[in-house]
Amino acid sequence: MTSDERGELAADLLERARYFSTLTDLGLPLVEAGIATDVGPAGRSGTSTSTSTGTSTNTNTSTNERTGTEAPARYSTRKVPVASPIERSGSGETLEAIRADIGDCQRCALAAGRKTIVFGQGNPKARLMFVGEAPGADEDEQGLAFVGKAGQLLTKIIEAIGMKREDVFIANVLKCRPPGNRNPEPEEIIQCQPFLERQIDSIHPEVLVGLGKFGAHWLLKTAEPITRLRGRLGAYKGIKVMPTYHPAYLLRNPGAKKEVWEDMKVVRDLLAR
Ligand code: SF4
């Protein structure tokens, strides 16, 4: 085995250990500084990223989501560049214009029961975009996508591939919460579809991740079970699509984390090119 191959193996083992430790308790990574520091630049190396909301985040520290306290980054990882190495141009339509067009949307029956429209949030020039199903109670309350327990898990998944939540864009197939978190109805998906299409056209990411059945089915225009779809790269308008399990499913079925890790490693490697 060459030294390069040994380095790759060490990096892979380190990331695997970190991934499973972070997803086990949703807490801070357990890998201590100094271990395998030759695998690449620090994953939280102090870059600043602007988001669609105009905020700027410094990542020299990480925040424990359970305690709200900050701690220094404690591990190294291969880092995915935030800026794209290739020229990408979206539709030219801004996310603000799309949000303005949604307005106080009444196009489907979900308008009657929602508190807020959850447009989605993140980097308007994201290289990586996640598409989930629909807002839940926490999201409906706060007007932000993936902010509940499943959202915290998604943050850990993003960090496990060396990115930050602010680097990516996160949206759902539906912008309004279905009552009781029931599955989306076909008519609701049809009515809401143009907004997500325009968001993807605007952001024009390099990779899309379809989270769970509805995210994956919407992107890939298929009804194949997610158990068969996950891990197989597809395409949406020429953009690579990785279908994988929804973080809410992982909360109920922790054993499926290893499959999501395999899928996310493929995503990471696509973005590292
Ligand atoms: S789910 Fe979409 S189409 Fe239905 S009311 Fe909300 S924004 Fe409009």
Taking only the tens place, the pLDDT of each residue in 220-259 is 999 999 999 999 999 999 999 999 999 999 999 999 999 9
pLDDT given at position 3: 74
Q: Distance between alpha carbon 115 and the CA centroid of its chain, in Å?
A: 24
Neighbouring CB atoms inside 10 A of 242's CB total 25
HSE-up of residue 83 (Cα within 13 Å, Cβ side): 4
Res 112 pLDDT > 70: yes
User: For residue 174, which atom of ligand 1 is closest to its CA?
Assistant: 1
Higher-pLDDT residue of 86, 112: 112
Nearest CA to ligand 1 atom 7: 175
3-state secondary structure of 150: helix
pLDDT band at 273 (very low <50, low <70, confident <90, very high): confident
| Sign of the Cα pseudo-torsion (148, 131, 240, 167, in order) | negative
* 13 Cα–ligand 1 center, Å: 43
Structural domains in the chain plus CATH codes: 80-272 (3.40.470.10)
Taking only the tens place, the pLDDT of each residue in 45-98 is 333 333 443 333 333 333 333 333 333 333 335 567 776 666 667 889 999 999
197 Cβ partners below 8 Å, 6+ apart?
A: none
* 96 Cα–ligand 1 center, Å: 17
pLDDT given at position 20: 59
Q: Which of 102, 106, 108, 181 to mutate to test the pocket of ligand 1 (most atoms within 8 A of CB)?
A: 108
CA–CA separation, 221 and 92 (whole Å): 25
Q: Which of 174, 182, 198, 199 to mutate to test the pocket of ligand 1 (most atoms within 8 A of CB)?
A: 174
Contact 264, 160 (CB under 8 A): yes
pLDDT given at position 16: 62
pLDDT band at 15 (very low <50, low <70, confident <90, very high): low
CA–CA separation, 134 and 177 (whole Å): 6
Of 119, 103, 144, give the one whose Cα is nearest residue 199: 119
Res 109 pLDDT > 80: yes
Neighbouring CB atoms inside 10 A of 81's CB total 14
CA–CA separation, 47 and 59 (whole Å): 6
pTM above 0.85, yes or no: no
CA–CA separation, 178 and 199 (whole Å): 21
Q: Which residue has the tokens 């939540």?
A: 165
- CA distance to 64, 95, 102, 108, per residue, from 51 (Å): 21, 11, 20, 29
CA–CA separation, 68 and 75 (whole Å): 19
* 112 Cα–ligand 1 center, Å: 10
Higher-pLDDT residue of 159, 20: 159
CA–CA separation, 182 and 112 (whole Å): 15
